[in-house]
Amino acid sequence: MMNSMNSFSQQYFMSSLLSAQRGFLTLNNKSSLLQTSTLTQVNERSFSIISRRTQKKYARTKKYKLKTKKAFQKRFRIGGSLRDRTFKFHALGFRHLNRNKTNKNLGRKRGRLLHHRADINKAKKYMPYFKSRKSTKL
């Protein structure tokens, strides 16, 4: 009986020494035996330079909005399909009172698009959120 108790205490002591290398010794309130409890290791990666770089990379930065020219926005609309976008506008004198105008006059005022390349480039500057994609040839 004494031998088995002695071997148990030796095994317990050896196991506590081995685990003490990984943790620290604490005194349990219920028993006077020393028990080992392992430390939860702090993740050192959270303090590393790599994680700081990734945090900086994905950090939200303030994005400034570009102003559209409101006068241009009120006068022009973006028309056409995705690959064939252009700017549409209304001709002068075509908003109302069209009953007493001739068909020839009304025909001249229909179908207004910007055709010239320089005008289209100016229009793009006035509308900064006009989505120009690689597929868009404007």
Listed range (19-28, 113-122, 129-138) with the worst mean pLDDT = 19-28
User: How far apart, in whole angstroms, are the C-alpha atoms of residue 129 and residue 98?
Assistant: 34
- Residue 136 clears pLDDT 50, i.e. is over it: no
* pTM of the full structure: 0.45
Please count the other Cβ atoms lying within 10 Å of the Cβ belonging to residue 72.
15
Cα–Cα nearest to 138, from 122, 121, 129: 121
pLDDT tens digit sequence for 68-115: 888 998 889 888 877 778 899 988 888 899 999 999 999 988 888 888
Q: What size, in residues, is the chain?
A: 138
Q: Phi/psi class of residue 125: alpha, beta or left (left: φ > 0; alpha: ψ in -120 to 50)?
A: alpha
Domains contained in the chain, CATH given: 1-38 (no CATH), 70-126 (4.10.410)
User: How far apart, in whole angstroms, are the C-alpha atoms of residue 133 and residue 51?
Assistant: 34
- For the record, the structure tokens of 11 come out as 């095994």
pLDDT tens digit sequence for 31-62: 555 555 555 555 555 556 677 777 777 777 77
| 129, 74 contact by CB (below 8 A) | no
Which spans in 21-116 are helix H?
Answer: 49-58, 70-75, 103-109
